[in-house]
Amino acid sequence: MLKTIGSLLFGGSCFLCRGKADAILCRACNADLPRLGANLCPRCALASPGGAVCGRCLTQPPAYDATQAALAYAFPADVLVQALKFRGELALAPFLGTLLPESDSSKDVDFIVPVPLSTQRLRSRGYNQALEIARQVAKTTGRPLAPELCERRLDTAVQMDLPLEERAKNVRGAFYCPSLVGGKTIADLCAAPGGKTAQLAQAGARVVAVDRSPGRMARLRDNLARLHLEAETVVADAAEWSDGPAGGFDGILLDAPCTSTGTIRRHPDVAWLRQEAEFAPLTARQRRLLRQAVSLLKPGGTLVYCTCSLEADEGEEAIAELLASGAAVRRAPIDAGEVAGLSEIVTAQGDLRTLPCHLPNPDPRLGGLDGFYAARLVKI
């Protein structure tokens, strides 16, 4: 494809030297591209002995996980970038897009998200060069292209016209990354006291919070008011409530009532306070809640079921029974990349299971996690 584009647009000549070429660049100019070496800091992509994290990133960690770069911004790469950016040489975008995945860390990437231009600049230029490059990166890596995950909120001064020390300040607040739940209708079942309701509302979801306790629902409403957030609140038993949207919810969060044995690190009295007779009623209620949650979900919608319990009856077995019953859901496995790479907390089935032994630390006061279980299901 690149050879065809080069031949059609440049008549078989190299874009840089105008010599004979069967692609956009001749072999000599391609070889002259300032490709980055192997000994780079994985965080900032600047030179670092042995490819270790550099001292600056260790002492002042950046707000991003990694930098993947193909070329240094030097001749002749700068000529190609400027020609694409300012002269409309759009045929260069696929070529540049093929270079980026050469550094082969694309396996850790979930989405390809191009940086958006301001409305004014997009109107005058007619295209976004980042988007054009991203199209090829997405094609090469097989990762989804998702320009909707980053929005431009402010029109700012041109970065190249500003001193280096003013550039970060210039773009502060200019971009916004909407949540994946933004604009979706989400039910938070057994919602009180409302921490998760607030998080969903803050992320832009239209939340319906359901709880059967009037007193706890009053506390949820107080918390929303304090945080200046809005959600629809319903006092009802979530195991019986069915007054959702006609087509079903886009997503449902069911943080089911449980024995709370997972909090034993912080609340050791739970082992004494919980009685064996409490388990059967709780597990029966969890299963009723699960069945009702499935009925409230629209096809393709997502259900997250979770408990702060160490008991398999309240976690893994509840989901296994639901799937075995023929319920119209399938498991959507959780990937370690979604939980900061902590593969030890992802089960073989793709559920989340944390234990007090996880994240050990020589100082026992700093090690360990609460026991927690979560499964993600999708309505068929």
Q: With contact defined as beta carbons under 8 Å apart, do 264 and 274 qualify?
A: no
- Tell me the chain's radius of gyration from C-alpha atoms: 26
- The span from the CA of 359 to the CA of 165, in Å, is 39
**Angle, CA of 110, 329 and 177, to the nearest 5°:** 30
Q: Tally Cβ neighbours within 10 Å of residue 99.
A: 20
Catalytic residue among 44, 57, 308, 357: 308
Q: Which two tokens stand for residue 162?
A: 């500003």
The helix/strand count (H/E) of the chain reads as: 13, 10
Q: Which amino acid is at 8?
A: L
CA distance 210 to 377: 20
φ, ψ of residue 302 in degrees (nearest 5):
-110, 135
What does the alpha-carbon distance between residue 18 and residue 21 come to, in Å, rounded to a whole number?
Answer: 8
Residue whose token pair is 């319990």: 309
H-assigned helices in 228-328: 270-273, 279-296, 316-324
User: Does residue 321 contact residue 339 with C-beta atoms inside 8 Å?
Assistant: no
Residues 249 and 247: their CA atoms lie apart, in Å, by: 7
Tokens of 160: 């190249």
DSSP letters of 175-202? EE---TTTT-EEEEET-TT-HHHHHHHH
178 in Cβ contact with 202 (< 8 Å): no
Active site residue 57: no
Q: What are the catalytic residues? A: 308
